[in-house]
């Protein structure tokens, strides 16, 4: 993806979200632009209007961290947006290299053993492209509809945007899609030369109007904790809390564990999942296939 275009679109979209009132500026007179003007952002960031205009045209190469911090404050960026701005600046300053394919990753046996030892909660490992690389038994049971999608590697974003069963299985599909698009945007900022990621984004952009709309918003997200709601074909409705933890020994991989509040219907449903999973047909087509991604979020 073109770094200058990404920088230009991101800064323009963030500027458009801030009203003069939010920035503590007077909102007098007719305004032809949505949000702040360039010169207003420049003033708030403590740089010249010409300097900010150059940045918004896509040129972040050589910009100091202090200036980026000032710009982040002026645009009222949250943690994930600020990190994305820093990623874009690093990419702008790096030597441009062609997109390349990655060697297929492998899940360490010790990591799989850890997943298998976690018997009371659904757990899975994903990469930044949202490929599911490994699960425990309960994780496979919970995400059974995703594994039934014939496309490989098993991918949460592809399922959410392209599989018609997602609307029934994920009861808050719009929120799940928005999170997926934001995570992919975040990953693209960290690694703009990731061929498989670019291929996935191209596929989703071509085939899904919902994805195109969300992608154009340039939203980013750090997705560490929250709630997911499912309507599972085997056990019905579940509302589960999740924690997503980066794995320090495996850079680019994230372990996600889900749990239910004790005494709730969701806790009862989780207990039924393993028994339900034992009744379904297990074939080779439902197991995760290797993906060619080795360095993702």
Q: Count of CB atoms within 10 A of residue 107's CB?
A: 15
Higher pLDDT, 27 or 166: 166
Query: In the prediction, which pLDDT does 228 show?
Result: 94
State percent of the chain over pLDDT 70: 89
**Residues 213-222: pLDDT tens digits?**
999 999 998 8
Q: At what angle do helices 49-56 and 38-45 cross, to 10 degrees?
A: 110
Query: In the prediction, which pLDDT does 33 show?
Result: 74
Query: Do 136 and 115 form a contact (C-beta atoms < 8 A)?
Result: yes
229 to 135, 232, 264: CA distances (angstroms):
19, 9, 14
Band the pLDDT of 290: cuts 50, 70, 90: very low
3-class DSSP state of 68: helix
What is the secondary structure of 270-289 as a DSSP string?
A: HHHHHHHHTTS---GGGSPP
Question: Interior CA angle at 120 toward 115 and 126, to 5°?
Answer: 35
Higher pLDDT, 193 or 89: 89
Tell me how long the chain is.
297
Q: At what angle do helices 195-207 and 173-190 cross, to 10 degrees?
A: 140
Band the pLDDT of 288: cuts 50, 70, 90: very low
- pLDDT of 231 > 70? The answer is yes
pTM equals 0.84
| Domains with residue ranges and CATH for the chain | 3-93 (1.10.260.40), 109-286 (3.30.450.180)
- Among 2-6, 111-115, 177-181, 198-202, name the one with the lowest average pLDDT: 2-6
Can you read off the two tokens belonging to residue 286?
């439902």
Residue (of 48, 103, 101) closest to 70 by Cα position: 48
Q: Count of CB atoms within 10 A of residue 127's CB?
A: 25
Query: Do 188 and 215 form a contact (C-beta atoms < 8 A)?
Result: no
Query: In the prediction, which pLDDT does 102 show?
Result: 61
């Amino acid at each position: 993806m073109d770094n200058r275009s990404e920088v230009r679109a991101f800064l323009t979209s963030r500027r458009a979200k801030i009203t003069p009132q939010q920035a503590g500026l007077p909102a007098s007179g007719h305004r032809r632009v949505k949000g702040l003007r360039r010169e207003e952002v420049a003033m708030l960031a403590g740089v010249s209007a010409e300097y900010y205009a150059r940045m918004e045209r896509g040129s972040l190469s050589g910009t100091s961290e202090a200036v980026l911090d000032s710009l982040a404050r002026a645009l009222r960026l949250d943690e994930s947006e600020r990190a994305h701005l820093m990623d874009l600046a690093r990419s702008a300053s790096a030597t441009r290299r062609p997109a390349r394919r990655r060697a297929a990753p492998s899940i360490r046996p010790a990591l799989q053993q850890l997943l298998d030892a976690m018997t009371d909660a659904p757990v899975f490992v994903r990469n930044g492209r949202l490929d599911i690389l490994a699960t425990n038994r309960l994780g496979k049971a919970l995400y059974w509809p995703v594994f039934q999608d014939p496309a490989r590697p098993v991918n949460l974003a592809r399922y959410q945007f392209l599989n018609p069963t997602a609307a029934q299985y994920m009861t808050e599909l719009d929120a799940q899609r928005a999170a997926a698009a934001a995570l992919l945007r975040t990953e693209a900022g960290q690694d703009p030369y990731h061929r498989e990621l670019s291929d996935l984004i191209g596929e989703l952009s071509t085939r899904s109007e919902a994805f195109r709309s969300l992608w154009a918003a340039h939203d980013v997200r750090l997705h560490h904790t929250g709630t997911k709601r499912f309507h599972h074909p085997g056990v019905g409705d579940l509302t589960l809390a999740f924690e997503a933890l980066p794995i320090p020994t495996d850079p680019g991989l994230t372990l996600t564990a889900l749990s239910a509040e004790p005494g709730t219907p969701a806790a009862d449903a989780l207990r039924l999942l393993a028994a339900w999973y034992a009744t379904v047909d297990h074939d080779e087509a439902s197991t995760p296939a290797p993906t060619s991604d080795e360095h993702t979020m």
